[in-house]
Amino acid sequence: MSEPQTLPFTMVNGDNYPRALHGYRVEDVDRDVTAMRTRIDNLNQYAAQIAEQNTRLKEQLDQAAKQTADLQARLDAQSKRQANPYQALGDDAQHIIDTAKRQADDTVTAAERKAERIIQNGHDKADKIINDARARLDKEEQQINAKRAEADRQAELAAQTLDRARKALQSALNGLKA
């Protein structure tokens, strides 16, 4: 598992964005924002992978500790068996019961951890979908607002042209009446 690739730039500053008519060029800013979002998504995925790997390693460590405890218990039981064979039978039975209880508890704990990871992954995916949808909605709204502004500008130009045509027509009519 390796860290995701870094962005093609190391720092974002005013030099990255040449000035346009009313600010920065939207294409340049959009390109860098998209690259940053991709980098953030990649880093979030990498962090989730590391967290999942960490959980698996903790589970393996817990399992190894339990195996060590079981081996120590067997060694103790073997020592007792050699000292008093009848006492060892009761100890063996108790050990079997204790082992079964531990295994049941381990199974429940592992299932709960897995369920928590599944739920968290579902929440993370849902959040990503919602954030992506919001970003797309924002972009669409910006485009709609830009088109509205252009339409308003064109309507204003058309109104001005119509007003000039009316004035010219009125002037021509006044010239014909005189």
Q: How far is CA 109 from CA 102, 105, 114, 115, 175, in A?
A: 10, 6, 9, 10, 98
Q: What is the pLDDT of residues 38-82, one digit of tens each?
A: 999 999 999 999 999 999 999 999 999 999 999 998 888 777 777
User: Which residue is associated with the tokens 């049941």?
Assistant: 104
Q: Is the CB of residue 117 less than 8 Å from the CB of residue 55?
A: yes
Instruction: Report which DSSP code applies to 14.
Output: G
Q: What is the pLDDT of residues 109-159, one digit of tens each?
A: 999 999 999 999 999 999 999 998 999 998 999 999 999 999 999 999 999
Q: Pick the residue with more confidence: 164 or 89?
A: 164
Judged against a pLDDT cut of 60, whether residue 102 lies above it is answered with yes
| Cα 79 from Cα 95, distance rounded (Å) | 14
